[in-house]
A and B are shown apart, each in its own frame.
Chain A
Amino acid sequence: KAGVTQTPRYLIKTRGQQVTLSCSPISGHRSVSWYQQTPGQGLQFLFEYFSETQRNKGNFPGRFSGRQFSNSRSEMNVSTLELGDSALYLCASSLQGLGGYTFGSGTRLTVV
């Protein structure tokens, strides 16, 4: 079966711009989580969606937002980009959100 697909793989944006990243989960998976990895840091939890509802949110500013569509695909948006937002963004899908997570290959965002 197809894995978790994240698009785009690489992205370069300028400070102040906004960006939208996409994640298509494994077919049948209804939970999608997003994580950020910056140099020297572990994966930091951003938010989790299940059946179009955000169930949990990490400690990130309001510039970071997300949504999930009826087909379980999810997008995350970062507005007013800062240099510190440069990171690898990973999404993970699972059936119910309590385990069996499958990760995508990530989107590498560079803010210049």
Chain B
Amino acid sequence: ILNVEQSPQSLHVQEGDSTNFTCSFPSSNFYALHWYRWETAKSPEALFVMTLNGDEKKKGRISATLNTKEGYSYLYIKGSQPEDSATYLCASNPSSGGSNYKLTFGKGTLLTVNP
């Protein structure tokens, strides 16, 4: 994997459903993996930053896991609500050569939760 890739590109679920998205990133030169939530006309909101293999983070109904050896992270939303509708972005920091000051973003997963 050379770039950060997210799947699916978009997702429609019903209120109350649980859902998950995938982020794949380069596993070499890894420093950190970030998840953001981005609602239309607002600024991206940081959800999680993870650095260690096996990391799991939780914030309310949203949680994330990290596998740095194989280069993937999952974001889970339990009991989706209409207010969870947003684009979910993941981004990685590489660890070397000054490039660690930049984030490489995936194209995002657009989640729509229908009432």
Contact = CB atoms under 8 A, between A and B. Distances in A.
B32 A98 contact: yes
A93 B43 CA distance: 12
Interface stretch (A48-56, A60-68, A79-87): A48-56
B102 A103 contact: no
B46 A31 contact: no
A45 to B, nearest CB: 4
A101 B101 contact: no
Interface string A55-97: 1101000000000000000000000000000000010100001
B99 interface: yes
B102 A42 contact: no
A3 B107 contact: no
Interface string B1-41: 00010000000000000000000000000011010100001
B42 to A, nearest CB: 7
Given A41-B107, A56-B98, A90 B44 contact: yes
Query: How many interface residues does chain A have, given as a range?
Result: 20 to 34
A106 interface: yes
B102 A56 contact: yes
A98 B31 contact: yes
A41 B3 CA distance: 13
Contact of B89 (A31, A43, A104): A43
Contact of B43 (A31, A44, A56, A90): A90
Interface of B: 4, 31-32, 34, 36, 41-46, 49, 89, 91, 93, 98-108
24 contacts: A35-B103, A41-B107, A42-B105, A43-B105, A44-B105, A45-B103, A48-B101, A55-B98, A56-B98, A56-B99, A56-B101, A56-B102, A58-B102, A90-B43, A90-B44, A92-B103, A97-B101, A98-B32, A98-B101, A101-B34, A101-B46, A102-B46, A103-B45, A104-B43
Given A4-B43, A100-B49, 5 more contacts: A42-B89, A44-B105, A58-B102, A97-B101, A105-B42
Interface of A: 3-4, 31, 33, 35, 40-45, 48, 50, 55-56, 58, 90, 92, 97-106
